[in-house]
Amino acid sequence: MEIRSDFLIIGSGIAGLSYALRVAEYGSVSIITKKEKADSNTNLAQGGIAAVISDDDSFELHIKDTLTAGDGLCHIDAVETLVYEGPERLKELIEIGVKFTTRYGKLDLGREGGHSRNRIVHAQDLTGKEIERALLQKISSHPNIKIYENHVAIDLLTEHHLGIKLNKFSDIHCWGAYVLDVEKGIVKKFLSNITMLSTGGLGHVYLHTTNPLIATGDGIAMAYRAGATIANMEFIQFHPTTLYNSGSPAFLISEAVRGFGAYLKTIDGERFMSKYHPSLELAPRDIVARAIDTELKRRGDNYVYLDLRHLPSDAVKEKFPNIYQTCLEKYKIDITRELIPVVPAAHYACGGVKTDLVGRTNIKNLFACGEVAMTGVHGANRLASNSLLEAIVFSERAARKSIEICSKNKNDIPKIPDWDDSGTFNAEEWILISHDRREIQEIMWDYVGIVRSDLRLERAIKRLNFISDEVENFYKKTKITEPLIELRNLALVAILISKSAISRKESRGLHFTTDYPEKDDVNWKKDTIISIWDH
């Protein structure tokens, strides 16, 4: 089955939906999403969008805060683009119906770790959900947009599928993707002039994560296999404060809670952040996560506490209604009167598919935006609440460039062969290989987590290569399924993270290795680049 459109969008978070609304004025749009259309990292984002709004703030301060958090690896042109264009994109969200929290007739601005001013625009503590609601409502009435739920992209369509042998010097074009319709169990060809990857994150490569179940690194894996350049995969942000023992995805206790004045304490009641950073609980996320990890290992505890008991009860309930209600009703914790047990969990990938300032990858007609992309904004560590901002700023820029390119190459798509579904599915073999997912997650958590070493990374790579080969062999001879697609992608992304980590012989931002505990600007103040042609 063949489905054609001018624009194909893989993923339905803020980046993909914002992009869709813009390009739909110039052509037909297909959006494919793995589960239901509202399943995305966007939907779980509690904190908000960082933007220069208040009179006491400035572009220069937001740029400085972003560069400081990024620890020397941010691309200054990308950061300036993000900060300068952010307020206008925020205004557009309000115009399409996003209801941000206001106070006395003005936007209520919060503060989070690493920010020198109150600049976090939010919708109480469910900002992502409110943005997703408004975007989906707008999209539902647009005649040029069609959303395909329960459709999983398998691989991008390139010259490879025409039988052309490619190398690192080849001009590679993307013409869409092979996509599994999960409900019907058939593989469709989605053909398009422009393909946008907005597949979100990769949190489920780790044992503990705040990400939704769909976050299995699919976009990065597909792009890598197609020949795209991937960058900075070693920089995985672990959110410092997720509710201990709350399952997977772990329930996130927003950065804004510490911004509101919560304390971090050990089990015996000691505030410990003064040992690690002058900003205490408002230090950048990597420092807070590493501090917690250090305290847990030093003491042998399973969690630390977040303490809000000194804060006004009514103010906490008003500021964080979702966190308060969820903790009270689901986990039987009254956060205004009781300590909250918290642990770090994998939260955000600062690396991804390398793009320019308009979202283009090195593969022609393939764009990437949002968490799947590496624009250069985040460097070695993302500043809190810059992620939703990045999505709206760069999706607008990508849309403008996509419209321009699409108008020049309409219908310029070669004949792509149908999916070859030969091979038989062996249920007994799948039972054996399905355990690989859990093993990948445990390997990554134990060896490629918050604190790393060459020995741990070498062990991880050795085992991950074996699992990846096993999965790839199984993939080639069986009927495709959603769990198999995800397992294949998880295995590859785990290897990309591990290889990037072992190649960086220093500690910087989110990457900390005991073998090279110091930062080395002379040799390593540069991006880590990896592509299929290097191996």
**What residue segments make up the domains of the chain, in order of their start?**
2-234+350-408, 236-347, 427-534
Catalytic, out of 89, 111, 285, 488: 285
Each residue's pLDDT tens digit, 68-81: 999 999 999 999 99
Residue with tokens 């009270």: 328
d(CA 510, CA 285): 9
Q: What is the reported pLDDT for 534?
A: 85
Smallest Cα–Cα separation from 239: which of 209, 217, 212? 209
For 236-347, CATH gives 3.90.700.10
Answer yes or no: same fold for 2-234+350-408 and 427-534: no
DSSP for 1-53 reads: -EEEEEEEEE--SHHHHHHHHHHTTSS-EEEE-SS-TT-SHHHH--S-EE---
d(CA 457, CA 213): 25
d(CA 109, CA 122): 7
- Residue 180, beta-bridge partner list: 152, 187
pLDDT tens across the length of the chain (535 residues): 899 999 999 999 899 999 999 999 999 999 999 977 555 555 555 568 999 999 999 999 999 999 999 999 999 999 999 999 999 999 999 999 999 988 888 998 988 878 999 999 988 767 888 888 899 999 988 999 999 999 999 999 999 998 999 888 889 999 999 999 999 999 999 999 999 999 999 999 998 898 888 999 999 999 999 999 999 999 999 989 999 988 878 898 988 899 899 999 999 999 999 999 999 998 877 889 889 988 988 898 989 999 999 999 999 999 999 899 999 999 999 999 999 999 999 999 999 999 999 999 999 999 999 999 999 999 999 998 999 999 999 999 999 999 999 888 776 799 999 998 776 666 677 887 889 999 999 999 889 999 999 999 999 999 999 999 999 999 988 889 999 999 999 999 999 999 999 999 999 999 999 999 999 999 999 999 999 988 6
d(CA 310, CA 312): 7
Q: What is the reported pLDDT for 430?
A: 81
Residue 263 vs residues 116, 228, 332, 383, 499: alpha-carbon distances, Å: 18, 43, 20, 20, 36
pTM here is: 0.91
**Cβ–Cβ under 8 Å, residues 497 and 448:** yes
Q: How many CB atoms lie within 10 A of CB 80?
A: 18
Smallest Cα–Cα separation from 48: which of 333, 509, 332, 385? 385
d(CA 431, CA 440): 16
d(CA 399, CA 395): 6
CATH architecture designation of domain 2-234+350-408: 3-Layer(bba) Sandwich (3.50)
Beta strands in 266-415 (DSSP E): 304-307, 340-349, 352-354, 366-368, 373-374
Q: What is the reported pLDDT for 79?
A: 98
d(CA 364, CA 530): 18
Q: What is the reported pLDDT for 99?
A: 92
Secondary structure of residue 192 in the 3-state scheme: strand
Query: Does the active-site annotation cover 103?
Result: no
Q: What is the phi/psi pair of residue 265, to 5°?
A: -140, 150
For 427-534, CATH gives 1.20.58.100
